[in-house]
Chain A
Amino acid sequence: MNIKTIQSIRLDRKLQFLLLFLIIYFRSEGIAEAYIGPGAGFAFISSFFILLVTFFLAIMTILFWPLRLIVKAFKKKRPANMNHGVECVVIVGLDGMDPDLTTQYMEEGKLPNLSKLSESGTFSKLKTTLPAMSPVAWSSFITGVDPSRHNIFDFLNRNFQTYLPELSSTKIERSPRTLSMGKYSIPIGKPKIKLLRKGRPFWNILSEYGIFSSILRVPMTFPAEKVNGVLLSGMCVPDLKGTQGTFTYYTSNGDSTGKRTGGVQIPVTIEEARIKTYIPGPDNNILKKGGETQIPLEITIKGDEEAELKISKEKFVLKKGLFSGWITVTFRPGLNIKIRGICRFFIKQIKPCFEMYMTPINIDPGKPALPISSPISYSIYLSKMMGSYATLGLAEDTWALNERVIDEEIFLEQAYKYHHEREEMFFDALDKTRKGLCVCVFDATDRIQHMFMRFMSDDHPANNDGVDLAKYKGVIEDLYKRMDCLIGKVMEKIDDKTILMVISDHGFKPFKRGVNLNTWLYRNGYLCLKDGSEIGGEWFHDVDWNKTKAYTFGLSGIYINEKGRESKGIISLEEKEELKKELISKLQELMDYDIGEVAIRRVFDSTDYFDGPYMENGPDLIIGYNEGYRASWGAAVGRVDKEIFEDNTKSWSGDHCIDPQLVPGVFFCNRKVVSDTPHIRDIAPTVLELFGTNIPPYMSGKSLIPSKRTEKD
């Protein structure tokens, strides 16, 4: 048979098959043969159902449209003044964008879109909060008030009873009542998730006026509060374990140290090319004996380049050096309760030893275990439209890079992936918010500068003797260019009736030297250690509170061990003022004699700057470190180290927890503003003013674009 004959026979058979199919299909009688099994059955039923729902929604919406408009018109407050002609305000937050670097790159012609914005409108430094930290500054942005009125002074706050740190943003309390059933202790009622940030977000004021808001990834918005619009929480959303991000590192390398800051290391052994291990999950709160929930993880090594991961029943193949997509993991603490999270895997090495990194387990946005959005369906909507996405507040895994579990390349890939996820959701929100407020905060600027600042200066102690200096020198410049492109895309999408603001909460400076003020306090007799110890463990492990006058933890505060406030306080209110003055005089212009530089520029007495109701929750003194300095890693976790000063050799090499005067943020606007020195607190009243709503008198910020009405007042 020649080829043509074979082809014609094949064709003939295909035709026969088609003919047979058609005959069977068209000879079918009644409904009997129209049903093609459960697959098609489901498909047709669900399609029909969807059509029915769509039709029903269409009818209901059209019918109720006028009614809704009337009800809304009566319910909402009327704006006092709309003379700005503004229909939409778009605020792009670029966390940590530094005005000095921005100016430099603009002058070099590398940021054409921001330059255009600057020329046609405004570009200036944006004063930041005291202390200059993201949770503090963004809380002031949200509420228009200072930290003593919104209650956020740092990432952490101290417990007055135990002196142990607590998350400053959120408190999760288990239901006090439980039902005991065998080995289970079932909580009755939901856990209470309390937002500790006080003050009212300005978009809630807009809501009263019926103004729609899309709020994306703004820090300190977890748990998500109700808004007329949609809100997706940002920084401070925990991972599934309830932490601010705990990575997992699997290694068969017995030499690796077991301790990892910000993560857990799980040693594994390879037996016949197979690793049997587990994924650590959240604590089991329904078992009386407690413990950690786990999911079995089986890894089958397939050669030198890939491995097959089996999680529960799901299998997927992962190539070395490539990130997996988002993988859904379901923890089952018992009683058929399921807690769903998402994570990504990265195999660093297969031979000679196996090394795999797993991201912190993010709350699954498709089935959120905690209220990460408002309404709750918004996070689900986003996950259905764009697939799974990072929900963790600090999703870019800076700890993993700091611990060298991942390298710079992996970190950058991760950071930009999350950035693109946020861009996608932001542009979707922008498209949906033709009238109203649209805010989105992008974190990549902050995280990348934290980790790559060391490559900007040759003398940075974390520079690893210049290794990779050339390779990563341009990372921050590239980051700024990417942000410029983002702004360019936004500018293309907005019209004349839209106000665009590009802001950052603080700037950035290199972090070269760490200062352990606990050690300084100890050496100067303000902090006492038990049994003549010379160093103290984490979280004041060896501190003798009965003799301690002052202590520090976190990134910028000194706390007086005040009688009646702290459980073991020894300093009376009268003594406190004297002590503060004494500390200020000694610490101000504290010299780092090893380098010959001033480490502390200024020390701020909080009573001179704050007078709000939550002042007592904050530090008594706030340290304004000089450029290049910051609280040391030990001081941040309440340790007393041997030395006061130390080189910062961590990858986390840039910071902003210094004198706020040194790290203002940026402010771009496509309109001219009246102030040369805008403050981040001014944004909230400005937006309220632009929409013609009343600015609450408690707001300490001032509108940057006042209306004629306000000018007259």
Chain B
Amino acid sequence: MIDINSILNFIFDAFFNPFDSLHPIYGLGAISLLTTLIVLPVFRYISNQEGIKRAKDRIIGHLLEVRLFNDDLRIFLLAQKNILKYNLIYLGYMLKPLMIMIIPIMIIIIQTGARYEYRPLHPGEAAIVKVILGTKGTLSEKGSKVVLTASKGLKLETPSLRVDGGREMYWRVKAEREGEFDLLFQVPDGEVKRRVVVKNKVARLSSLMLKGGIINSFFHPGEPFLPESTTIESIEVKYPPMKVSVFGWNIHWLVIFFVLTLAFGFLLMRPFNVRI
């Protein structure tokens, strides 16, 4: 899985690289278009196009029925029932493509999210660093400490704050200049490094750093895993959420992705001869 993640990171890094310094809408536009270009032909071949057409036609037919025979309450109610019935049938036709498409689309969404969910810190900005310790053999029981050291370019602004019986620890770090810097966490059973990105560009980030595992690595492709031996369960750097400004409105990246894929889908539906 690590290898797959590395490959995926490599591919998506290469894809997003030209858009790093541009407004996020460009990168999101490009990935939305790519998604549409992948999804439409696949959707055409794996979905029941005839069934979809039939169900959609029936829905429109029954909607027109309501309009045409609006003096007859019986026809009206039957039409309503049939609209709902064919709506369900229509959704049913989506299940198979949905089951198949979920994996590639998830990969695209996760990889895009790794770049557009959060933005790197800007010089002068501070972020909270949160560490969660494991339950077995916790440091709190032993009374040990987690010592955090920031590399040059980062400044620790606060001492550690422990909550939840010592399982959670918080610091605040401030970015002093652009670059990729390390936070070094020293625990009795070893050292753990965590990257902090300070940039004015789009970058692949994961707010959370977790121990290895198929699912974790799949959902958090921006950071390497914590060593299995360490008692640290997770390290989180609370990057600021990315605000994508479109016509003065700050819109979540996924909304833009959603709208753009729909728009591209709508535009390309006919050239690709796909019925959705």
Among B58, B73, B101, B258, which residue has its beta carbon within 8 angstroms of that of A65? B73
Query: CB-CB < 8 A to A58: which residues of B?
Result: 80
Is B19 part of the binding interface, using a Cβ–Cβ cutoff of 8 Å?
no
Proximity string of chain B (51-81) to chain A, C-beta cutoff 8 Å, 1 when within and 0 when not: 0000011111101111111111111100010
Query: CB-CB < 8 A to B161: which residues of A?
Result: none
Is B163 part of the binding interface, using a Cβ–Cβ cutoff of 8 Å?
no
- Selected interface stretch from B87-95, B134-142, B181-189: B87-95
Contact in complex: A385, B58 (CB < 8 Å): yes
Proximity string of chain A (32-47) to chain B, C-beta cutoff 8 Å, 1 when within and 0 when not: 1101111111111111
Query: CB-CB < 8 A to A578: which residues of B?
Result: none
Is A4 part of the binding interface, using a Cβ–Cβ cutoff of 8 Å?
no
- Selected interface stretch from B10-18, B36-44, B149-157, B166-174: B36-44
Majority-rule SS of A interface residues: helix
Measured in the bound complex, the distance between the Cα atoms of B94 and A41 in whole Å is 10
Contact in complex: B80, A38 (CB < 8 Å): no
Query: CB-CB < 8 A to A39: which residues of B?
Result: 39-40, 43, 47, 94, 97-98, 101, 265, 276
Contact in complex: B276, A54 (CB < 8 Å): no
Measured in the bound complex, the distance between the Cα atoms of B46 and A40 in whole Å is 13
Contact in complex: A23, B61 (CB < 8 Å): no
Tell whether A43 pairs with B276 under 8 Å between CB atoms, given A21-B99, A61-B66: yes
Is A14 part of the binding interface, using a Cβ–Cβ cutoff of 8 Å?
no
Is A377 part of the binding interface, using a Cβ–Cβ cutoff of 8 Å?
yes
CB distance from A603 to the nearest CB of B (A): 48
Contact in complex: B103, A24 (CB < 8 Å): yes
CB distance from A73 to the nearest CB of B (A): 12
Contact in complex: A37, B65 (CB < 8 Å): no
Tell whether A33 pairs with B90 under 8 Å between CB atoms, given A41-B262, A385-B61: no
Q: Which residue of B lies closest to A378 (CB)?
A: B68
Proximity string of chain A (572-591) to chain B, C-beta cutoff 8 Å, 1 when within and 0 when not: 00000000000000000000
Query: CB-CB < 8 A to B74: which residues of A?
Result: 434
Contact in complex: B76, A61 (CB < 8 Å): yes
Is B83 part of the binding interface, using a Cβ–Cβ cutoff of 8 Å?
yes
- Selected interface stretch from B105-113, B222-230, B231-239: B105-113
Is A3 part of the binding interface, using a Cβ–Cβ cutoff of 8 Å?
no
* A:40-69 near B, CB below 8 Å: 40-47, 50-51, 53-54, 57-58, 61, 65, 68
Query: CB-CB < 8 A to B113: which residues of A?
Result: 32
Proximity string of chain A (1-32) to chain B, C-beta cutoff 8 Å, 1 when within and 0 when not: 00000000000000000000101110111011
Measured in the bound complex, the distance between the Cα atoms of B273 and A314 in whole Å is 9
* B:256-276 near A, CB below 8 Å: 257-258, 261-262, 264-266, 273, 276
Query: CB-CB < 8 A to B103: which residues of A?
Result: 21, 24
Tell whether A38 pairs with B94 under 8 Å between CB atoms, given A53-B63, A384-B58: no
Is B4 part of the binding interface, using a Cβ–Cβ cutoff of 8 Å?
no
Contact in complex: B105, A37 (CB < 8 Å): yes
Proximity string of chain A (377-395) to chain B, C-beta cutoff 8 Å, 1 when within and 0 when not: 1101101110100000000
Is A313 part of the binding interface, using a Cβ–Cβ cutoff of 8 Å?
yes
Size class of the A contact interface (CB-based, 8 Å): 35 or more
Tell whether A40 pairs with B94 under 8 Å between CB atoms, given A31-B254, A432-B72: yes
CB distance from A420 to the nearest CB of B (A): 18
Is A375 part of the binding interface, using a Cβ–Cβ cutoff of 8 Å?
yes
Contact in complex: A313, B276 (CB < 8 Å): no
Contact in complex: A33, B70 (CB < 8 Å): no
Measured in the bound complex, the distance between the Cα atoms of B109 and A27 in whole Å is 14
Measured in the bound complex, the distance between the Cα atoms of B266 and A380 in whole Å is 22
Query: CB-CB < 8 A to A25: which residues of B?
Result: 102
Among A23, A43, A378, A380, which residue has its beta carbon within 8 angstroms of that of B215? A23
Among B43, B64, B72, B109, which residue has its beta carbon within 8 angstroms of that of A32? B109
Q: Which residue of B lies closest to A435 (CB)?
A: B72
Measured in the bound complex, the distance between the Cα atoms of B91 and A385 in whole Å is 19
Contact in complex: A377, B68 (CB < 8 Å): yes
Is B217 part of the binding interface, using a Cβ–Cβ cutoff of 8 Å?
no
Contact in complex: B106, A33 (CB < 8 Å): yes
Measured in the bound complex, the distance between the Cα atoms of B65 and A57 in whole Å is 12
Tell whether A35 pairs with B254 under 8 Å between CB atoms, given A43-B276, A54-B84, A381-B68: yes
Q: Which residue of B lies closest to A48 (CB)?
A: B87
Q: Which residue of A lies closest to B71 (CB)?
A: A212
Tell whether A313 pairs with B273 under 8 Å between CB atoms, given A27-B215, A45-B262: yes
CB distance from A166 to the nearest CB of B (A): 34
Is A230 part of the binding interface, using a Cβ–Cβ cutoff of 8 Å?
yes
Contact in complex: B106, A24 (CB < 8 Å): yes
CB distance from A466 to the nearest CB of B (A): 46
Contact in complex: A57, B66 (CB < 8 Å): yes
Contact in complex: B61, A41 (CB < 8 Å): no
Contact in complex: B276, A42 (CB < 8 Å): yes
Contact in complex: B60, A384 (CB < 8 Å): yes
Measured in the bound complex, the distance between the Cα atoms of B266 and A43 in whole Å is 12
Proximity string of chain A (115-136) to chain B, C-beta cutoff 8 Å, 1 when within and 0 when not: 0000000000000000000000
* B:200-246 near A, CB below 8 Å: 215, 218-219
Measured in the bound complex, the distance between the Cα atoms of B80 and A28 in whole Å is 34
Query: CB-CB < 8 A to B80: which residues of A?
Result: 54, 57-58
Contact in complex: B68, A47 (CB < 8 Å): no
CB distance from A238 to the nearest CB of B (A): 24
CB distance from B82 to the nearest CB of A (A): 10
B47, B97, B102, B110 interface centre (most CB from chain A within 10 Å): B102
Query: CB-CB < 8 A to A380: which residues of B?
Result: 60, 64
Measured in the bound complex, the distance between the Cα atoms of B218 and A196 in whole Å is 73
Instruction: List 6 interface pairs A-B (beta carbons < 8 Å), by A numbering.
Output: A24-B215, A36-B101, A313-B273, A378-B64, A380-B64, A434-B74
The 4 closest A-B pairs by CB, nearest first: A38-B265, A384-B61, A381-B64, A385-B61
If A24-B103, A28-B106 are given as contacts, then 20 extra A-B residue pairs at C-beta distance below 8 Å, sorted by A number, are A24-B102, A24-B215, A32-B109, A32-B113, A35-B258, A37-B101, A37-B105, A38-B43, A38-B276, A39-B97, A40-B97, A41-B261, A46-B276, A47-B90, A58-B80, A61-B70, A313-B273, A384-B64, A387-B57, A434-B72
* A positions within 8 Å CB-CB of B: 21, 23-25, 27-29, 31-33, 35-47, 50-51, 53-54, 57-58, 61, 65, 68, 72, 212, 230, 313-314, 375, 377-378, 380-381, 383-385, 387, 432, 434
